[in-house]
Structure 1
Amino acid sequence: MSHGPRRIVCLTEEPTEVLYALGEQDRIVGISGFTVRPARARKEKPKVSAFTSARIDEILKLEPAFVVGFSDIQADIAAELVRRGVEVWISNHRSVDGILDYVRRLGALVGVADKADAYADELRRGLDAVAAEAATLPRRPKVYFEEWDEPRISGIQWVAELVRVAGGDDIFPELAAQSLAKHRILANDDEIIARSPDIVFGSWCGKKFQPTKVASRPGWENVPAVRTGDLHEIKSPLILQPGPAALTDGVRAIAAVIREWASKSV
């Protein structure tokens, strides 16, 4: 017998990706318009929300038993749905362990705890395999991850952790611990330049990363990553969603760049 809510609306991509991975996609009746994973979800499910806004009346027409969202940014959406009698769960995880725990908790909330535990274990094994390969590299790069360019915003905690898993060292670990983007804004480029990143990853949250624009920033000409051309884009759906994508394709994309950098002659 099936347990848990049968009609679920996902306000962000990660619960959609998790529920599809668990084989529970039939429960989903509405998704975020920003959902790209899995690709079939965009064809199969109605899109009822953005990230900071949602069509409340359209959600209510779907008669959801459960709505899943993410972070304080969706607090107003959640509050309105709660006032309208809908059960809502807003997660606020920001770390790799938090993502794995999220998978387990979401699975438990919808009645498939065993499947969720098995999936989380599979994701952990994948990360362990990436880390084991990274441990064989001859050297570790210093990495600057840029989440936005104007103003400069450095990477969030799970990104910094995945950089370490992949064999690099994030140059702003003290900022990565800050959950809110406004607390990861860099006042100017001086500290980036001073910390001499060997690799720069750009993931400008839906805007195309422009390596030539980065390379031409005043004072960046002697940054190691600029000198060697190690300015790389990681698509935001792969890394900036705190869900399975980051722990699979996202970390592997980072690891591939780091592996190539480490193989170059010093």
Structure 2
Amino acid sequence: MIFTDQLNRQITLEHPPQRIISLVPSQTELLYSLGLDHEVVGITKFCVRPSAWFRKKTQVGGTKHIHRDRIAALSPDLIIANKEENLATDVEPLMADYPVWVSNVQTLQDAYDMITGIGAVTHCSSTAATLVTQIKAGFAALPVRPVPIPTAYLIWRDPWMVAGGDTFIHEMLSACGLHNVFGEQLRYPAITPEQLAGSGCELLLLSSEPYPFKEKHMAELQAIVPHARIELVDGEMFSWYGSRLLESAAYFSSLNF
């Protein structure tokens, strides 16, 4: 069968995949939710969920700097990758030897399409469709905020880095009724304290990943934006675009911004 990934590349599989490697943490969790415990043979060292897989599945490197020899030893018949989280210099050579399905997720619709696409390529379409229906219902139930709160979402320290407007995090902020004050910038720009102070943000969110912000960082930032409310948030809920979305809407509601 021929399948099309989110880069509009076609891959051909002669039979349902039996030896899958995932190079993306949130998509590893999705494969677990699809019931593919026996089929998934390899993951990255950052694929911490489910914890049972993290302990027992073979790790083939990080999301970047993948070990080709470990992948070869697993003889995969399908590799799941992502345009942003994996390096093209890692993934493109794999395409010459294995079927590689690549996701490209910036919006909720992209996430729904990704779940549907991975469901199809792994022959789990019915389960994937159920997941998408449940996720959509959760987000549809989120209250609509009359006036979005001007918000900045920090992902890194030294230098300070924020989520820009062409990211999945930006989409999640919008779903929460928040206005990304750095939404006119692309990807994850580095900003100065002066830029943050002049951004007009009334809410500053400190993500738990990739930089593990803690309470000790809040005072430092409060001095920069003294009138803003500062909150620590679970970065997985804002940036994982697989089955974690089943929990995201309820988490957003619990934040009570």
**Number of the residue aligned with 2:227:** 223
Alpha-carbon distance, 1:207 to partner: 3.1
Provide the TM-score with structure 2 as the length reference: 0.82
Structure 2 gap ranges (5+): 1-14
Alpha-carbon distance, 1:34 to partner: 0.4
Mapped to 2, the partners of 1:207 and 1:125 lie a distance apart of 31
Q: Which moved more, 1:52-61 or 1:148-157?
A: 148-157
Alpha-carbon distance, 1:128 to partner: 1.2
- Name the amino acid aligned to 1:255: S
Q: What is the aligned counterpart of 1:171 among 175, 178, 181? A: 181
Distance 1:185 1:207, change over 3 A: closer
- Name the amino acid aligned to 1:209: F
Q: What is the aligned counterpart of 2:202 among 175, 198, 204? A: 198
Distance 1:20 1:207, change over 3 A: same
Q: Taking every aligned residue pair, what percent have the same amino acid on both sides?
A: 20
**Number of the residue aligned with 2:93:** 80
Alpha-carbon distance, 1:9 to partner: 0.3
Distance 1:241 1:138, change over 3 A: closer
Mapped to 2, the partners of 1:200 and 1:218 lie a distance apart of 9
Q: What RMSD in Å do the two structures reach over aligned CA positions? A: 2.4
**Number of the residue aligned with 1:100:** 112
Distance 1:251 1:196, change over 3 A: farther
1:88-237 aligned at under 5 Å gives the runs 88-129=100-141, 131=142, 134-135=143-144, 140-156=148-164, 157-175=167-185, 178=186, 180-181=187-188, 184-186=189-191, 188-203=192-207, 205-217=209-221, 220-225=224-229, 231-237=230-236
The answer to whether the 8 A contact 1:234-1:254 is kept is: no
Alpha-carbon distance, 1:30 to partner: 0.5
Alpha-carbon distance, 1:64 to partner: 0.4
**Number of the residue aligned with 2:242:** 243
In the alignment of these two chains, the number of paired residues is 240
The answer to whether the 8 A contact 1:142-1:169 is kept is: yes
Alpha-carbon distance, 1:65 to partner: 0.1
**Number of the residue aligned with 1:30:** 42
The answer to whether the 8 A contact 1:234-1:253 is kept is: no
The answer to whether the 8 A contact 1:163-1:254 is kept is: no
Mapped to 1, the partners of 2:18 and 2:67 lie a distance apart of 20
Mapped to 2, the partners of 1:211 and 1:194 lie a distance apart of 23
Mapped to 2, the partners of 1:255 and 1:197 lie a distance apart of 20
- Name the amino acid aligned to 1:169: H
Q: Larger % of strand: which? A: 2
Alpha-carbon distance, 1:5 to partner: 0.9
The answer to whether the 8 A contact 2:151-2:180 is kept is: yes
1:35-46 aligned at under 5 Å gives the runs 35-46=47-58
Mapped to 2, the partners of 1:251 and 1:154 lie a distance apart of 22
Structure 1 gap ranges (5+): 226-230, 262-266
The answer to whether the 8 A contact 1:193-1:219 is kept is: no
Mapped to 1, the partners of 2:231 and 2:241 lie a distance apart of 20
SS of 1:26's partner is coil
